[in-house]
Amino acid sequence: MKPQSATVFATVVAVIAALAIAGPVFAAPNVINANVNHGITGQGVDQAFAHVRICVPGSTTQCQNLGGLLIDTGSFGLRIFAQALTVKLPVQMSGPDRVGECAFFGSLTAWGRVATADVTMGGEPTISSLPVQIINPNFPATGDRPKSCNGSNAPIARTPQQENFNGILGVGLLQYDGGLTQYYACTSTTCTPMSQPALADQVQNPVALLPVDNNGVLLSFSLPPATGASTLTGQLIFGINTESNNHIPDTFTVYPADPTTLSFTTTYQGRNISESFIDSGSNGFFYHNPYLALCPGSPWYCPAALSGQHATNTGFDSPNSGLVKFNIANAFGLFISGNAAFFDLGADLGGGTLFDWGLPFFFGRKVFVGIAGKSITGVTESTPLWAYK
């Protein structure tokens, strides 16, 4: 999922997967598992989840191993449902007021207070006092959400059960979220807009604060069978060209993203779609093909047979380009198969102005996501960027 204010319309019709409840197994200090499964609904498809450890700042006992976090290369920052927390994290203050935040996504609006937590991802060093958003539609307790937050077309996220995840682990192209969200100063009854906090106080991509592996991530999955897989385990690897396990191969193409819109250009059916992006938080290929049949009463594509598709991606302000071949299957047939991971699930966005390369794009690939403002040894293109073969 990408923030709505970054000109994205993400998984508006998603069948959302939920919690991955098995504990993490780390292959290397900079690696955590990325688990695709049905989740608690028993109906989820094509969403990947991770675990992190959170603690009250400075404590080694007031801690929680938190799973069911959606791995999202389309956003930035750790966001946790209040109902999923078993530890009480201290609220961030602005003078006498508590700090609230409204973050807009294509399929939901996340509202709640900003807190701080010590966060550990895999075997990486702990990040101290990381600002995180606590998603809570009832904040402040005796007041109402600001009207400017309620005004989004995307519904307010209310519970983990409603959204089928405990939170969002945003590891995308930016470090700070302040340019794409609205912050508020909140009393016990009212919240009023405030200027963006100092960068260090904004909800931010935890990867960017690691001491070494801080310039991006590599998200990697094997390709599921043609009929799909009930579960699929991949790897979220921190850092790019910082360790032996995260080097961009020479055969990969680097695609810079527009630093403002965080997009590149996809050329599809003769149209140059400049608002295109790679987003693990979307559970399908979301784009417009007027010639593909839709499932009855649904925006999901339902061709009679597997449909081969192709498009060309081109980096922003860059000659780097490459052909992408992908497939679209009958979505209803996939849904009734009983599986959870599909490489050929897609839906119609309409209009043809956006192209969302969702989680199926990652299956059978290694995809690098470079954070804006960070340098990558051996890479001449500027960040933010993606790289894949």
3-state secondary structure (DSSP) of residue 362 = helix
Distance between CA 162 and CA 287 in Å, rounded? Answer: 25
Reduce the DSSP state of residue 358 to 3 states and report it.
coil
Is the pLDDT higher at 366 or at 178? 366
Q: Tell me the pLDDT band of 25, cut-offs 50, 70 and 90.
A: very low
| pLDDT(231) > 50 | yes
Distance, CA of 43 to CA of 26 (rounded, Å): 27
For residues 271 and 146, the model is more confident at 271
Rg (CA), the chain: 20
Query: Over 70: is that where the pLDDT of 158 sits?
Result: yes
Confidence of residue 15 (pLDDT cuts 50, 70, 90): very low
- The segment(s) of the chain belonging to CATH 2.40.70 are 55-209
Please return the burial class of 99, using the count of CB atoms within 10 Å of its CB with bins 0-12, 13-18 and 19+. Answer: buried
Residue by residue, DSSP assigns 162-209 as HHTSSEEEEESS-SB-GGGEEEEEE-SS-EEE-PPPPGGGS-B-GGGG
Instruction: Identify the pLDDT of residue 142.
Output: 67
Q: Are 42 and 278 in contact (CB under 8 A)?
A: no
Where is average pLDDT lowest: 23-27, 104-108, 129-133, 237-241?
23-27
47-80 as b/e: b if 16+ CB within 10 A: bbbbbbbbbbbeeeeebbebbbbbbbbbbbbbbb
Helix intervals (H) in the chain: 147-150, 160-163, 331-335
pLDDT at 297: 95
Q: Tell me how far apart the alpha carbons of residues 353 and 377 are, in angstroms, rounded to a whole number.
A: 34
129 Cβ partners below 8 Å, 6+ apart?
57, 116, 117, 118
For the chain, what percent of residues have pLDDT higher than 70?
92
pLDDT in tens, 302-348: 999 999 999 999 999 999 999 999 999 999 999 999 999 999 999 99
193: pLDDT strictly greater than 60: yes
Is the peptide bond preceding residue 384 cis, with omega within 30 degrees of 0? yes
Q: What distance lies between CA 36 and its chain's CA centroid?
A: 14
pLDDT band at 152 (very low <50, low <70, confident <90, very high): low
Instruction: Determine if the pTM surpasses 0.85.
Output: yes
Span 229-250, average pLDDT: 98
* Residue range 49-55: mean pLDDT, rounded: 97
For residue 18, what pLDDT is reported?
31
Both tokens of 225, joined, read 């069978």
17 pLDDT exceeds 60?
A: no
255, 264 Cβ separation under 8 angstroms: yes
Mean pLDDT of the chain: 92
DSSP 8-state assignment for residue 203: -
CATH of domain 55-209: 2.40.70
Residues in the chain: 389
Per-residue confidence (pLDDT) for residue 294, from 0 to 100: 98
Tell me if 236 sits within 8 A of 51, measured CB to CB.
no
Residue 255: closest CA among 277, 284, 240: 277
Give the pLDDT of residue 148. Answer: 84
Give the pairing type, strands 63-72 and 167-171.
Answer: parallel
Tokens standing for 63?
Answer: 């801690």
Residues 6+ apart with CB under 8 A from 42: none
